[in-house]
Chain A
Amino acid sequence: MALSETMTAVEITKPGGPEVLIAARRPVPTIKDGEILVRVLAAGVNRPDAMQRAGSYPPPAGVTDIPGLDVAGEVVAVRGAGPWQVGDRVCALVAGGGYAEYCAVPAPQALPVPKGLSAIEAASLPETVFTVWTNVYDRAHLKAGESLLVHGGASGIGVAAIQMAKATGATVYATAGSADKCRACESLGAAKAINYRDADFVTVIKELTQGRGVDVVLDMVAGDYIAKNLEVLAMDGRLSIIAFLRGHKAEVSFARVLMKRLSITGSALRPQSVAAKGAIAASLRRTIWPLIESGRIRAVIDTVYPLAEAAKAHARLESNAHVGKVMLEVAKE
């Protein structure tokens, strides 16, 4: 297939609100050794995209300024040896460049589109399942028979974490900000979702666990939640921090950390190496992909907007009314 030299992509014209996202013409990316070029059918909208748009989360050095961290589509070019061939349907985690008709992807960061999923469904997965895998499994070592508390249970990360943990044999609790979101969390497999506007999650979790607490907490709230998370963790519990919706500062009782043998950790996906992301992809393909293909874990799509309406997609994400992922459709399948 002959590739055109230019493509439609969404640019951040200046730091600001959703209206600064404008469709423009850009050169089709050239791929380096070890990369594949994907004709993008769908791209996910993630919280870091909104932070990048607002100017508070610049892309890492050497990464395109076009936003977008996960895509699905068709491989149209390959450089160097690797598992992919032109024509393969893949979804992939990228460090940027998803809001475009073509996207360069390091080959190890791509996975096959799970059988039975549309491109939009497949593109909703990478950022969330990579994040949950590396933070909940690699770093916090969640095991079957243990319990997990997920804050922001109705977010893209939340719906992935609830389903992955449930499908791998853990008991899952979630917090969310409305009765509808709580119902959504419970329908995805949470044993109990707590509306944080009505109830103190520490009290509820302690009651539900007979005072024991949970083994792992996945937290994108931080701030004053960190001390509460340490309170709600069981002996040998692990807290994994992935975002800071309520700020970076935390008052921590390290006596509690020591006496309960707790572990506080966390990570951001984007700055990690291709090798690290490739290792996560390999784990996902082995453990989570079969659960997606058997229907135990499904893509939860909130809304789909055409690429040119990326501004509306950001407005939807920032309304915090969504359940699951906000998506961009770049081309029809």
Chain B
Amino acid sequence: MAVPTTMRAIELAGIGGPEALRLTNRLVPAPKSGEVLIRVEATGVNRVDIIQRTGAYTPPYGVTDIPGVEIAGTIAALGPDVADHRVGDRVCALVIGGGYAEYCAVPAPQVLPLPGGYDMVRAAAIPETLFTVWTNMFDHGRFATGETILIHGGASGIGTTAIAMAHEFGARAVFVTAGSAEKCAACDRLGVTRSINYRLEDFVRIVREQTKGRGVDVILDMVAGNYVPRNLSCLAPDGRLVLLGLMSGTREIEINASQIMMNRLSVTGSSLRGQSIAQKTRIAQALENQVWPKLAAGRMAPVIDTVLPLERASDAHRRLEGGHHVGKVVLTLV
């Protein structure tokens, strides 16, 4: 496959609103040792892209400034020392940046085959979410069959995936919070035990009622802030609170640490982007073994909210920031 020297890409013309995203021409990256070059056909839009656009996240030294952390496409070239991929393979991948472009260089272990029956749009909608949900729910949250889980932001991309994952891996009960009746209805259609409209109901009270006062085993929370002490109040003994975002900000929060000790709780959190390639490789292997067959069998599927061409990246960000989406926003490049 002939690889051109330049490509279309979206860059940040300064820090700011969605209008800061600008279509431009860039040099096609050269795959380094252990990397593959992917001809991108679709790329998922994520909250971390918005955080980068507003200047709250700066890519580390050596990482492209082009946003975008998940892609699907075709392998166009191999860097040195890549054994188990071939030019022409149809793949999807988690990337540390550079997804909003026609070509993207990726560490080979982060590249996964397209799940059986998947097109590029659906395949581009899954890596960031599945890597995030897997590592937080299983590696950090140590979720086990027969346990109960509370998922905040149940209608988000992370939320809908976590709901499906909880069902597939044997959750006894799945509780979610969401911010509108429509979003709660969407979660209910995914088969949750009880959706909670946080604008109308106190999730601590509902979860405690529904679990006969025991609380849940695992909570996935991307809100943090004042949710943290409330989460501690609805965890069961030996419960795990996993933070995967800070949507309510970074200010310090007062907690009662005796709740942690007396109930043997654990509070943890992670951002996927900061993890090593080795850790991402372990997650990729777990996903390919345990989740890809479920995707191919149709037992789990991404929820796609909107598909837009690359040049409408600004509209894609507006859609995500509007907060009315249910599921993923995806950009296409073909």
- Among the listed stretches B107-115, B150-158, B264-272, B324-332, which one makes contact with chain A, having 4 or more residues with CB under 8 Å of it? B264-272
Q: Report if A257 contacts B (CB, 8 A).
A: yes
On whether the beta carbons of B250 and A264 are closer than 8 Å, the reply is no
Q: Which residues of B contact A13 (CB under 8 A)?
A: none
In chain B, what residue has the closest Cβ to A244? B258
| A253-276 residues at the B interface, CB under 8 angstroms | 253-255, 257-259, 261-268, 271-272
Q: B223: shortest Cβ distance to chain A, in Å?
A: 10
A248 and B260 CA atoms in complex are apart in Å by: 10
On whether the beta carbons of A250 and B264 are closer than 8 Å, the reply is no
On whether the beta carbons of B256 and A249 are closer than 8 Å, the reply is yes
Q: Report if B48 contacts A (CB, 8 A).
A: no
On whether the beta carbons of A263 and B268 are closer than 8 Å, the reply is yes
In chain A, what residue has the closest Cβ to B270? A261
Q: Which residues of A contact B15 (CB under 8 A)?
A: none
Q: Which residues of B contact A265 (CB under 8 A)?
A: 260, 264-267
A193 and B95 CA atoms in complex are apart in Å by: 44
Q: Report if B200 contacts A (CB, 8 A).
A: no
Known: A222-B257, A258-B269, A264-B268. A253 touches B252 (CB 8 A): yes
On whether the beta carbons of B254 and A250 are closer than 8 Å, the reply is yes
Q: Among the interface residues B140, B258, B275, which one has the most CB atoms of the partner chain A within 10 A? A: B258
Q: Report if A252 contacts B (CB, 8 A).
A: yes
A239 and B256 CA atoms in complex are apart in Å by: 15
Question: Which of A226, A244, A263, A267 is close to B264, meaning CB atoms less than 8 Å apart?
Answer: A267
Known: A252-B253, A263-B266. A258 touches B271 (CB 8 A): yes
Q: Is the interface of B mostly helix, strand, loop or mixed?
A: mixed
- Report which B residues bind A (CB closer than 8 A): 140, 224-225, 228, 243-246, 250, 252-258, 260-262, 264-271, 274-275
Q: B171: shortest Cβ distance to chain A, in Å?
A: 22
Q: Which residues of B contact A242 (CB under 8 A)?
A: 261
Question: Which of B262, B265, B267 is close to A257, meaning CB atoms less than 8 Å apart?
Answer: B267
A227 and B266 CA atoms in complex are apart in Å by: 16
Q: Is the interface of A mostly helix, strand, loop or mixed?
A: mixed
Q: B124: shortest Cβ distance to chain A, in Å?
A: 25
On whether the beta carbons of A262 and B252 are closer than 8 Å, the reply is no
A267 and B275 CA atoms in complex are apart in Å by: 28
On whether the beta carbons of B255 and A261 are closer than 8 Å, the reply is no
Q: Mark A265-293, 1 if CB is under 8 A from B, else 0.
A: 11110011000000000000000000000
Q: Report if A241 contacts B (CB, 8 A).
A: yes
On whether the beta carbons of B267 and A264 are closer than 8 Å, the reply is yes
Q: Which residues of A contact B260 (CB under 8 A)?
A: 241, 264-266
Q: Among the interface residues A241, A259, A266, which one has the most CB atoms of the partner chain B within 10 A? A: A266
Q: Among the interface residues A139, A255, A258, which one has the most CB atoms of the partner chain B within 10 A? A: A258
**Size class of A's contact patch?**
20 to 34
Q: Which residues of B contact A241 (CB under 8 A)?
A: 257, 260-261
In chain B, what residue has the closest Cβ to A223? B257
Q: A261: shortest Cβ distance to chain B, in Å?
A: 4
Q: Among the interface residues A139, A249, A254, A262, which one has the most CB atoms of the partner chain B within 10 A? A: A254
Q: A234: shortest Cβ distance to chain B, in Å?
A: 13
Q: Report if A251 contacts B (CB, 8 A).
A: yes
A251 and B255 CA atoms in complex are apart in Å by: 6
In chain B, what residue has the closest Cβ to A250? B257
On whether the beta carbons of A268 and B261 are closer than 8 Å, the reply is yes
On whether the beta carbons of A248 and B246 are closer than 8 Å, the reply is no
In chain B, what residue has the closest Cβ to A222? B257
Known: A264-B266, A266-B260, A268-B261. A255 touches B274 (CB 8 A): no
On whether the beta carbons of A251 and B254 are closer than 8 Å, the reply is yes
Q: Which residues of B contact A259 (CB under 8 A)?
A: 271, 274
Known: A257-B268, A258-B270, A261-B268. A268 touches B253 (CB 8 A): no
Q: A141: shortest Cβ distance to chain B, in Å?
A: 11
Q: Which residues of A contact B270 (CB under 8 A)?
A: 258, 261
On whether the beta carbons of B253 and A262 are closer than 8 Å, the reply is no
Q: Which residues of B contact A253 (CB under 8 A)?
A: 250, 252
Q: Which residues of A contact B252 (CB under 8 A)?
A: 227, 251-253
Q: Which residues of B contact A248 (CB under 8 A)?
A: 256-258
A258 and B252 CA atoms in complex are apart in Å by: 13
A253 and B252 CA atoms in complex are apart in Å by: 4
A253 and B251 CA atoms in complex are apart in Å by: 7
The 3 A-B residue pairs with the shortest CB-CB distance in the complex, in nearest-first order: A258-B269, A255-B250, A265-B266
On whether the beta carbons of A266 and B261 are closer than 8 Å, the reply is yes
A194 and B1 CA atoms in complex are apart in Å by: 63
| A221-251 residues at the B interface, CB under 8 angstroms | 222, 226-227, 241-244, 248-251
A108 and B113 CA atoms in complex are apart in Å by: 50
A264 and B258 CA atoms in complex are apart in Å by: 12
Q: A87: shortest Cβ distance to chain B, in Å?
A: 36
In chain A, what residue has the closest Cβ to B263? A267
A248 and B259 CA atoms in complex are apart in Å by: 9
Q: Which residues of A contact B254 (CB under 8 A)?
A: 249-252
Q: B319: shortest Cβ distance to chain A, in Å?
A: 26
Q: Among the interface residues B140, B255, B256, B275, which one has the most CB atoms of the partner chain A within 10 A? A: B255
Q: Among the interface residues B254, B255, B257, B274, which one has the most CB atoms of the partner chain A within 10 A? A: B257
On whether the beta carbons of B268 and A139 are closer than 8 Å, the reply is no
A17 and B270 CA atoms in complex are apart in Å by: 46
On whether the beta carbons of A261 and B269 are closer than 8 Å, the reply is yes
In chain A, what residue has the closest Cβ to B266? A265
Q: Which residues of A contact B257 (CB under 8 A)?
A: 222, 226, 241, 244, 248-250, 264, 266
On whether the beta carbons of A254 and B258 are closer than 8 Å, the reply is no
On whether the beta carbons of A254 and B274 are closer than 8 Å, the reply is no
Can you list 6 A-B pairs, Cβ within 8 angstroms, ordered by A?
A139-B264, A257-B268, A258-B270, A259-B274, A265-B265, A271-B262
Q: Which residues of A contact B266 (CB under 8 A)?
A: 139, 263-265
A86 and B140 CA atoms in complex are apart in Å by: 45
In chain B, what residue has the closest Cβ to A258? B269
Q: Which residues of A contact B268 (CB under 8 A)?
A: 257, 261-264
On whether the beta carbons of A254 and B243 are closer than 8 Å, the reply is yes
Q: Among the interface residues A139, A259, A261, which one has the most CB atoms of the partner chain B within 10 A? A: A261
